[in-house]
């Protein structure tokens, strides 16, 4: 999970002319980990990022990044991966609320 957190926070991915700068798949995976309340390896967060992070610090930084993500950028990467467009449209619609709810757990309890 620590690697996924760092990937979502620090790695920029540019796709095509539309300039999508995130990998929706990474955020999809991260939310899955968060939903399961997987605890990230503190050592990996402390040494593998561009700066050392604690769980709380990386989650606060991710909250800021998530606030800047556009739904269309998530969709550009995720839609081709799922047969059910209804499923992924619903997932994207709930992404911001779900992320905030799960992030609160990591900020307060981990």
Structure confidence at residue 25 (pLDDT): 94
For 20, the 3-state DSSP assignment is: strand
pLDDT for 20 beyond 60: no
Instruction: Tell me what the mean pLDDT of segment 37-66 comes to.
Output: 97
Domain range for residue 91? 2-109
Structure confidence at residue 18 (pLDDT): 58
Is the full-model pTM beyond 0.85? yes
Distances from the Cα of 2 to the Cα of 41, 67, 110, angstroms: 6, 20, 13
Express each pLDDT in 53-98 by its tens digit. 999 999 999 999 999 999 999 998 899 999 999 999 999 999 999 9
- Number of domains the chain is built from: 1
Q: State the Rg of the chain over Cα.
A: 14
């Amino acid at each position: 999970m620590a690697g996924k957190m760092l990937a979502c926070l620090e790695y920029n991915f540019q796709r095509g002319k539309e300039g999508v700068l995130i990998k929706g798949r990474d955020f999809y995976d991260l939310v899955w980990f968060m939903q399961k309340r997987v605890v990230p390896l503190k050592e990996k967060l402390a040494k593998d990022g561009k700066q050392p992070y604690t769980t709380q610090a990386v989650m606060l930084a991710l909250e800021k990044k998530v606030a800047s993500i556009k739904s269309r950028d998530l969709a550009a990467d995720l839609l081709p991966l799922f047969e059910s467009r209804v499923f992924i449209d619903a997932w994207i619609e709930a992404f911001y609320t779900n992320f905030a709810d799960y992030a609160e757990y990591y900020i307060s309890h981990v």
